[in-house]
Amino acid sequence: MALNVLVVDDSAVMRKMIIRTLRLSGLPLGDVFEAGNGQEGLDKLSQNWVDLALVDINMPVMNGEEMIDRVRQNPETADLSVIVVSTDSSETRIDMLQKKGAGFVHKPFTPEGLRETISQMTGVAQDEQSPEGTLPGSGPDF
């Protein structure tokens, strides 16, 4: 089963980091969609089938919490797997997010930690032998 993933973060660099981790992780990846805030994220969800959303909390226009609330209120997206990737590590916030059925990864994250949480949330194991498990490096190191 290929996973279609939506990455919602107001930082384009952070979105690229998350997507790079997804591609390196050996998870069976389908389409990857990007959004710069919660509203854009909802728009992408209304136009595409998505299996997993990785969502930041502090964003302009619409923050991640409001986006998750709306996702849960919409019958078409209510069961979407959501992982919050945020610098906000308040226990109160994490409790609130868990009640909304979201996983949590704290920034700064390691790619291995993000991979682990995605595997747990989706129940999809990484394919150990996946040729997508590595990316060509930009440098000549190895």
Partner 1 sequence: MSNLQKELYRAAVLTFEELGLFLPSPELDDTQRQAAAEGTVIVPFGGPFSGHLVVTVCGDVLGGLAANMLGEDEVTEPEQRSDALGEIGNVICGNILPRIAGTRELFNLRPPRVMLGGTPGTGTDTGHPAVTAQVGLDTGRADLALFLDGDAAARLEENPR
Partner 2 sequence: MVVSKHPDDSIITHALGSCLGITVHDPVAQVGGLLHVMLPLSTIDPAKATSNPHMFVDTGVPRLFLECYKLGAQKSRVELKVVGGACSKANPEDDYFEIGKRNFVMLRKLLWKNGVLIKSHDVGGTHSRTMSLHVGTGDVILQINGVKSII
Beta carbon of residue 78, minimum distance to partner 1 (angstroms, whole number): 25
- Using CB under 8 A as the binding rule, whether residue 69 contacts partner 1 is answered as no
Residue appearing with tokens 């390691």: 110
Q: Binding partner of residue 122 among partner 1, partner 2, none, CB under 5 to 8 Å per kind?
A: none
Q: Binding partner of residue 112 among partner 1, partner 2, none, CB under 5 to 8 Å per kind?
A: partner 2
Residue type, 78: A
Cα–Cα separations (whole angstroms), residue 62 to 16, 43, 104, 137, 141:
20, 12, 19, 35, 41
Report the C-alpha gap between 20 and 16 in whole angstroms: 6
Q: How far apart are the first and last CA of the chain?
A: 31
- Binding residue for partner 1, selected from 47, 123, 139, 142, defined by CB under 8 A: 139
Size of the site for partner 1 (CB under 8 A): 28
Cα–Cα separations (whole angstroms), residue 108 to 61, 79, 85, 88, 99:
23, 27, 9, 10, 23
- Binding residue for partner 2, selected from 49, 75, 99, 137, defined by CB under 8 A: 137
Q: Which residues bind partner 1 (CB under 8 A)?
A: 10-14, 16-17, 20, 58-60, 63, 86-93, 107-110, 135, 137-139
Q: Which residues bind partner 2 (CB under 8 A)?
A: 20-21, 24-25, 110-112, 115, 128-131, 133-139, 141-142
